């Protein structure tokens, strides 16, 4: 498993999205990272499970936030539309001034 800190394209060069992107580098290799994790009591499967659980929780949080925003945008749209309908159908003929 490759380290999330130093993404690589297989050629040994770090990937970057743009020419000015900052790529974090660590002096630790993947083997050293996994060795430290194993010494701390983590195995590769437990780390993968925790990563998966964290990703699922993050996605669920994003879904809830998107749903919240969509509901509020819909309510705002309804308010503007009802306001428009109210003023459109209550509009008096002329500008209200006497000639």
pLDDT digits (tens, 9 = 90+) for 42-93: 887 888 888 888 889 999 999 999 999 999 999 999 999 998 888 888 876 6
The shares of helix, strand and coil residues in the chain, as percent rounded to the nearest 5, are 55, 0, 40
Angle at the Cα of 65 (from 62 to 71), degrees rounded to 5? 140
Residue ranges of E strands in 6-57: none
Q: Where are the domains of the chain?
A: 1-9+18-42, 43-89
> What's the mean pLDDT in 22-48?
78
Average pLDDT over residues 21-47: 77
SS3 45: helix
Is the pLDDT score of 1 beyond 50? no
Beta bridge partners of residue 55, listed in sequence order: none
Least confident range from 2-6, 17-21, 54-58: namely 2-6
Determine the pLDDT at residue 63. 92
Distance (Å, whole) CA 84 – CA 90: 10
């Amino acid at each position: 498993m490759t380290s999330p800190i130093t993404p690589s394209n297989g050629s040994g060069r770090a990937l970057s999205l743009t020419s000015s992107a900052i790529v974090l580098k660590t002096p630790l290799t993947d083997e050293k990272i996994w060795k430290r994790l194993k010494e701390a009591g983590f195995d590769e499967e437990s780390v993968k499970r925790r990563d998966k659980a964290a990703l699922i929780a993050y996605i669920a949080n994003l879904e809830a936030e998107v749903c919240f925003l969509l509901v509020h945008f819909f309510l705002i749209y309804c308010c503007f539309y009802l306001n428009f309908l109210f003023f459109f159908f209550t509009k008096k003929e002329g500008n209200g001034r006497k000639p």
